[in-house]
């Protein structure tokens, strides 16, 4: 398979203003790569674009809410006009949601599905025609270790990431034999702050949600820059499946060996991170 040379190829990145998206953008910008950066946070996106343009002059920034289909296709038109030769799409946009089935509303769950799943689907569909015009192109979708194993207390997040995994695999099969390849990346425990800045069910007391988020964040060990390097490498090599972090490789093996009973091994390590019901005691402050 023909690899991509991203320093000479144009890459579109969603969720580019924060977290792994920003680190991927920084890594590619340092190589002088042409970039189309997309994010809903206009202020943060503008700040990042100003930081990167001195080393990546062929960079454009596009403010877009990926939940808005019309806005997504309008932004895709802007990207195609600014970058006639688009070679790669890396979808890093996403959020998290804490809460169990009794705490979450359907509206809260749908919101996360709109962000994590439909935002990924819509930008992919909107930019796929441009990718098809190149001799070789690749799409990298950021999934999650929770697209391999579904923990309690993370129903909407696991739903959305399993769906991203299914979308990625089905699209890869549809495009088999074409110039466009598709891959998914499965990170575990990247220190981006997504869990600390994500949403939680309105029914959860804020202090309880903060405690659960902090317990989850304490389990994250991978540096975002290291994760970004693996994402870029997976895109360049047009890989179908990439694990990031030791935990991801362990969970991948665990779910293959015990597809029904894997939760027994995961329950105890995740106990505090999935506890959104125990009240804060006076000793906790």
pLDDT at res. 177: 95
pLDDT at res. 221: 78
The string of pLDDT tens digits covering residues 25-68 is: 999 999 999 999 999 999 999 999 999 999 999 999 999 999 99
pLDDT at res. 239: 97
In terms of Cα–Cα distance, which of 151, 134, 148 is closest to 184? Answer: 148
Within 10 Å of residue 48's Cβ, how many Cβ atoms?
A: 23
Distances (CA, A) of 51 to 12, 42, 85: 17, 14, 24
pLDDT at res. 284: 59
**Sites in the chain below the pLDDT cut of 70:** 193, 196, 282-285
> Which residues does 115 contact at the CB level (< 8 Å), separation at least 6?
66, 67, 93, 94, 95, 160
pTM of the predicted structure, to 2 decimals: 0.95
Domain range annotation of the chain: 6-276
Question: Using CA of residue 62, residue 63, residue 67, residue 70, what is the dihedral sign?
Answer: negative
Distances (CA, A) of 37 to 61, 123, 186, 284: 5, 12, 22, 42
Return the CATH number of the domain spanning residue range 6-276. 3.40.50.720
pLDDT at res. 223: 87
């Amino acid at each position: 398979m023909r690899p991509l040379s991203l320093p000479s190829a144009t890459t579109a990145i969603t969720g580019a203003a924060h977290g792994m998206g920003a680190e991927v953008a920084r890594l590619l910008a340092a190589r002088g790569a042409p970039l189309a950066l997309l994010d809903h946070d206009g202020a943060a996106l503008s700040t990042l674009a100003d930081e990167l343009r001195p080393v990546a002059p062929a960079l454009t920034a596009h403010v877009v809410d990926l939940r808005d289909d019309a806005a997504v296709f309008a932004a895709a038109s802007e990207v195609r006009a600014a970058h006639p030769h688009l070679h790669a799409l890396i979808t890093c946009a996403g959020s998290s949601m804490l809460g169990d089935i009794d705490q979450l509303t359907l509206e809260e769950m749908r919101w996360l599905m709109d962000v994590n799943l439909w935002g990924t689907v819509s930008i992919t569909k909107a930019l796929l025609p441009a990718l098809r015009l190149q001799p070789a192109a690749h799409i990298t979708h950021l999934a999650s270790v929770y697209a391999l194993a579904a923990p309690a207390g993370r129903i909407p997040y696991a739903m959305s990431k399993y769906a991203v995994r299914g979308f990625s695999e089905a699209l890869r099969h549809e495009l088999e034999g074409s110039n466009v390849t598709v891959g998914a990346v499965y990170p575990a425990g990247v220190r981006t702050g997504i869990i600390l800045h994500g949403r939680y069910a309105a029914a959860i007391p804020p202090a309880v949600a903060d405690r659960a988020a902090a317990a989850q964040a304490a389990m994250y060990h991978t540096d975002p820059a290291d994760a970004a390097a693996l994402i870029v490498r997976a895109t360049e090599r047009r890989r179908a499946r990439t694990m990031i972090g030791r935990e991801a490789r362990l969970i991948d093996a665990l779910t293959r060996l015990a597809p029904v009973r894997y939760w027994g091994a995961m329950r105890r390590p995740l106990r505090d991170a999935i506890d959104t019901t125990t009240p804060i005691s006076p000793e906790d402050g």
